[in-house]
Amino acid sequence: MNMFSLNGKVALVTGASYGIGFAIACALHDAGATIVFNDIKQELVDKGLASYKEKGIEAHGYVCDVTDEAAVQEMVAKIEAEVGVIDILVNNAGIIKRIPMCEMTAEQFRQVIDVDLNAPFIVAKAVIPSMIKKGHGKIINICSMMSELGRETVSAYAAAKGGLKMLTKNIASEYGEYNIQCNGIGPGYIATPQTAPLREIQPDGSRHPFDQFIIAKTPAARWGEAEDLGGPAVFLASDASNFVNGHILYVDGGILAYIGKQP
């Protein structure tokens, strides 16, 4: 199992104070990596540090807006000086605005693109030079099923994640010769605090309509857990995936493979 070991590696997971990023960072730590994360506010970084400490993880937290190129360059330089050169980058930070396309302003559209697509470009660009010098590197972009599918109210998110899928393939194409592997993880519908209202049992004892919809569309017949992303992340961060490049690994319980039940 040594090929899955991350001992001695430094992993930066953006926006990993909670949720999917936190679960991925914990899995990388359990495989041996030193965890570094950022968030946009000190309050969120402090909460993240407390959550890692509860799990016995000595993480390193930084305040940084990943859409600010100068701030990202400064953060990466600090991490290299204080922790070490980044071996693994997980571009996890992201936002979604559920607004019908014709009601969404161009400014709102640009904000989603900025966080979900421009920021991964900015952070990857900041860490790649040192990865080249070190002779290896792993970049994991958190894409989405919306890299492949459309749905009402998520035009900006789907556009950003589709772009991130292609950025993933292009980083692999451009820097593969330097022993840098860039892959993506496409989570399905994950049970997080943010999606909890969509899974609440209704007053009559039935499932929420959206919950019913997701269960019916998922061959696994359940929502994913954030921990379901840990194994795929460790695989893509480790030597076990050294010849896997430009791939999007969908962790969706089979949704993308399934046409759905006949009405």
User: How many other C-beta atoms are found inside a 10 Å radius of the C-beta of residue 102?
Assistant: 6
| β-bridge partners, 62 | 38
- Positive or negative, the Cα torsion across 16, 21, 26, 29? negative
CB 137 within 8 A of CB 179: yes
The per-residue pLDDT for range 30-74, each reduced to its tens digit, is 999 999 999 999 999 999 999 999 999 999 999 999 999 999 999
CB 73 within 8 A of CB 128: no
pLDDT computed for residue 198 by the predictor: 86
**What does each C-alpha distance from 1 to 23, 31, 47 come to in angstroms?**
21, 10, 33
Question: Is 250 annotated as catalytic?
Answer: no
pLDDT computed for residue 193 by the predictor: 81
Sequence-distant (6+) residues with CB within 8 A of 168 are 139, 141, 143, 182, 183, 184, 246, 248
Measured between alpha carbons, how far is 19 from 196 in angstroms, rounded to an integer? 12
pLDDT computed for residue 3 by the predictor: 97
For residue 245 the two structure tokens come to 């490049």
The per-residue pLDDT for range 142-185, each reduced to its tens digit, is 999 999 999 999 999 999 999 999 999 999 999 999 999 999 99
Measured between alpha carbons, how far is 33 from 87 in angstroms, rounded to an integer? 9
The per-residue pLDDT for range 100-140, each reduced to its tens digit, is 999 999 999 999 999 999 999 999 999 999 999 999 999 99
The per-residue pLDDT for range 176-214, each reduced to its tens digit, is 999 999 999 999 999 988 788 889 999 999 999 999 999
pTM: 0.96
CB 167 within 8 A of CB 141: yes
The per-residue pLDDT for range 227-255, each reduced to its tens digit, is 999 999 999 999 999 999 999 999 999 99
DSSP at 202: P
Catalytic residue among 52, 62, 157, 189: 157
